[in-house]
Amino acid sequence: MPDRGGGPSGPRMRVGRPSRRARTLLMTLGVLAVLGMAFIMFAGFWTDWLWFRSVHYSSVFTTTLWTKIGLFAVFGLLMAGVVGLNIWLAHRLRPPLSAMSLEQQSLDRYRMSIAPYKKWLLIGISVLVGLVAGASAAGQWKTWLMYVNGVPFGTKDPQFGLDVAFYAFDLPWYRFLLGFGFAAAVLSLIAAAAVHYLYGGLRVTSPGARATAAATGHLSVLLGLFVSLKAVAYWLDRYGLAVKSSDFKAADNWTGLRYVDANAYLPAKTILFCIAVICAVLFFATLWRRTWQLPVIGFGLMVLSAILIGGLYPAIVQKFQVQPNEQAKESPYVEKNIEATRDAYAIDGADVRDYPGVPDPKADKNQLRQAADTTASVRLLDPNIVSPAFQQLQQVKGYYAFPSTLAVDRYNGQDTVIGLRELNIGGIPKNNWINDHFRYTHGYGVVAAKGTTAAADGSPDFTQSDLPSKGQFGTDFEQRIYYGEQTKQYSIVGGPQKELDYSDDKAGEKETTYEGKSGVNLDNPVNRAAYALAFSEPQILYSGAIGEGSRILYNRTPKERVEAVAPWLTIDGAPYPAVVDGRIKWIVDAYTTSNGYPYASRTTLGQSTADSLTNSQRAVVAQENQVNYIRNSVKATVDAYDGAVELYQWDTKDPVLKTWMKAFPGTVKPKSEISPKLMEHLRYPQDLFKVQRELLTRYHVTDPQTFLSGSEAWEVPDDPTTKAGTAVPPYYLSMKMPDQKEKDQVFSLTTTFTPNGRPNLSAFMAVNADPGTPDYGKIRILKMPTSKPVDGPKQVQSKFNSEPKIAESIRLLRGGDSEVEYGNLLSVPLADGMLYVEPVYVRSAGLKYPLLRKVLVTYGGQTAFEDTLEKALNVVFGAEAPTTPVQPPTQPDGTVKPPTTQDPTVKAALADAQKAIEDAEKARQSGDWAAFGKAQDELKAAIKRAAEAEAKLGSTPKPQGQQ
């Protein structure tokens, strides 16, 4: 067509072409820009690959990558093909443009403008929808892997008789396919309708037929496919009722069928499925009938049926059948929910027993006093309060720091509070790039203290301290900490730049060079360029501090590392360190979860695991994740020196873990490979315990009628030692529950419950947290009587505060601007009653850390506020503890009998035992019972060390000839 564009008349202006040099420059800049963008994209991929390869989990990276690429390609091409095919078909079925109506004439200019670009428009639209669909499908890689690798649970749902694996692994994938089908049908319908309208197949304002026969047939088929998918959706919705969340006054986040679901929604979905199938057939029949009348009527009936059958009818059933007799109607379904929930959260084995809560007033005082020592090792050192004492007494340098909440572990049978002296980047004397990333690269040393005692001045009784660290753990272990909870910046180590190891007052600064194999090698200039982009730090590319052997360390917190190598796990919020086999290892509890366990009620992990100890360093687990199945299926370790990540199968029966182990073979080691030394430090995880206790506030009840009435519902009390109104945290301590048959105390995790809206104690819960015992994981609940209220934590704290003598003592302790801090209020079942113990710390004016000054104890209505636990127990029970010291084998002269071997460990242990005996006798004569108790503890530990060393020597095969 001739150019009819307007413009000024006159001679044409000749526009000069750019010079050859300019064209070359522009082309070069364009190529460089494209290469730069490509390298930026490549840098992210390449650094991820290098990191996974450095931790020896490259199979996780490749499996995830190829799964995403496969899903992107398949579903992207499928969506592009379906939409593109329908656009092409609509164009192919366009009517001839003969007699043009006014409506078509107005569209003529649009047809003319796109005519030269029809092919490119078709390709562009297809590619665009394909990219979007492919990206969406790639995000479903976990759903796909669970679907193709799913392992049966061996448990069937009570409604349809299908294995739980169908709901956990299959149904999510079917829902994704259904959603993809709906998206493809709707996009194809919109695109086809637009093309038909543009080329005259559909008419809106023109007289005559509104659609050509070809357009009618094409759109009818697409509508028939849409309605067919709706029929499939109705059918899947039947199964979805088993995992559907609903509001129910008996329980929050209720999941599963109720009476109205089984007797109204379920038949309604079946009827709607049949109606949708008939409606789809009517749409397909339009290919021959060429009329919209019947399918439109059918579609209208389907919509009306969905309103009446799917909405109004269930509401009538609920109003007139369920509400007048709710308990009778709902009881069978409540029973199914209780059984499924207790199984899904592994609380079905909880042993609930009645417990008086009030001691027998005729009980022998001496026996009670003795039982107080043997029932529990009361932990006076609060790991949430004593961190400043560790910081002040053991920080040594400003560039070291301890976490605000320390860990509780056990060593040689002693409850121990432990922390690592990690690097504090904010405490470096002078912050610059070299100091922050090359010079100061790691922390150094372990600090530990006894959990049950304190030093004479109230400070922690350290069993491992100083720099380099020495004490109970010895010195023969790798003390450098390159990976820790507070180590979040990257470091470049192993190259020409020396690192500061630690400072010694006598020898000055000691330097080191990292010798581990962790991190990514920066010898390669491509690697340096990639990391310069990844960390937005150009100096990585050209700095002279990087040379042969330089390695970059990042992703350095234990949680980050385990999450990266096992993205299908949910990580506990409290990794903790342990000295194992000559290394410092972070122990990380990991969970497999599911949101598809039929009938099991859901919980939000972030809410269930929050308490008064969660803060910026002690994070809650999976803040927004809603789950209705959880298992502590994996125990992971992260080496503090080389960052090595090991995953161990812990729950050998968990089908979710088995599914992921099929998807990622070789990533999880069998349970049998856990070393005995590591096993000694494994424990029951806090976050799982908190989720279980939250569920047990309602699901300790197994009778449906009682459950529905809510008369026995409990709640987790607020922490009485704080004013934040947050839940009391669970506490680790070694103790014996009344029914436990073990002779010794067992490392346990404990909590309390109160009735809804009331402060008195309703139950005490403890779980065996020691994997070395036969009933590890056994949940025991002591249920208090409702007829005789037992004081709960808030009431105990209130009585402490209101006791005139105690209040006056607290006032005196606060004198001179001192601050009083209450430690963990520990509860211990003892001889039918409840023993409460709370340490009281004082932070004097000018002192930066708290000291243990007093101990509050109450039992059976008697309260004591004394300098030591020993004295407080003596006052409460009106009797003194037995003072007979534990005696090791001795010679006639009273000295410790020398070992039968010259083993230095045995000799040193018995020498410590002899000293402890002498200290105990001095303390007894002077009446210093705190020192006496401390000496007894040291004596027991020394004897135990000697016995263990002798046993090892006795079990060691002798050389031939010395048999």
Chain centroid to Cα 879, Å, comes to 47
Q: What is the pLDDT of residue 27?
A: 81
d(CA 355, CA 850): 37
Give SS3 for 823.
coil
Instruction: Provide the pairing of β-strand 520-521 with 583-594.
Output: unpaired
332 Cβ contact list (under 8 Å, min separation 6): 704
- Mean pLDDT, residues 667-674 taken together: 95
d(CA 546, CA 537): 13
d(CA 864, CA 213): 95
Q: At what angle do helices 141-149 and 171-198 cross, to 10 degrees?
A: 130
**Nearest alpha carbon to residue 838 among 806, 883, 886, 812:** 806
d(CA 198, CA 110): 8
d(CA 314, CA 263): 8
More confident site: 639 or 891: 639
Chain centroid to Cα 596, Å, comes to 18
Percent of the chain residues past pLDDT 90, beyond the cut: 53
Q: What is the tens place of the pLDDT at every residue in 389-416?
A: 988 888 888 889 998 889 999 898 889 9
Q: What is the pLDDT of residue 9?
A: 42
Residue 679 has phi, psi (to 5 degrees) of -60, -30
Using the predicted structure, report yes or no on whether residue 575 has a pLDDT greater than 60: yes
46 Cβ contact list (under 8 Å, min separation 6): 526, 527, 530
More confident site: 112 or 303: 303
Q: How far is CA 296 from CA 117, 279, 632, in A?
A: 36, 9, 54
Using the predicted structure, report yes or no on whether residue 448 has a pLDDT greater than 90: yes
Instruction: Provide the pairing of β-strand 779-783 with 351-354.
Output: parallel
Q: What is the tens place of the pLDDT at every residue in 366-378?
A: 889 988 988 999 9
pLDDT band at 101 (very low <50, low <70, confident <90, very high): low
Q: What is the pLDDT of residue 356?
A: 93
Q: Indicate the Cα dihedral angle 955, 956, 961, 963, nearest 10°.
A: 0
Determine contact, residues 920/939, Cβ cutoff 8 Å: yes
Dihedral class, residue 748 (left if φ above 0, else alpha if ψ from -120 to 50, else beta)? beta
Q: What is the tens place of the pLDDT at every residue in 493-538?
A: 998 999 998 887 676 788 899 998 899 999 889 999 999 999 989 9
**Position of tokens 């020196």?**
641
Residue 553 has phi, psi (to 5 degrees) of -110, 130
Count helices and strands (H / E) in the chain.
29, 35
Helices (H), 420-476: 433-434
Q: Indicate the Cα dihedral angle 355, 356, 359, 363, nearest 10°.
A: -80
Percent of the chain residues past pLDDT 70, beyond the cut: 87
Read off the amino acid at residue 359: P
DSSP string, 771-795: TTSTTTT-EEEEEPPSSS-B--HHH
Element (H, E) at 166: none
Least confident of 382-386, 450-454, 691-695, 878-882: 878-882
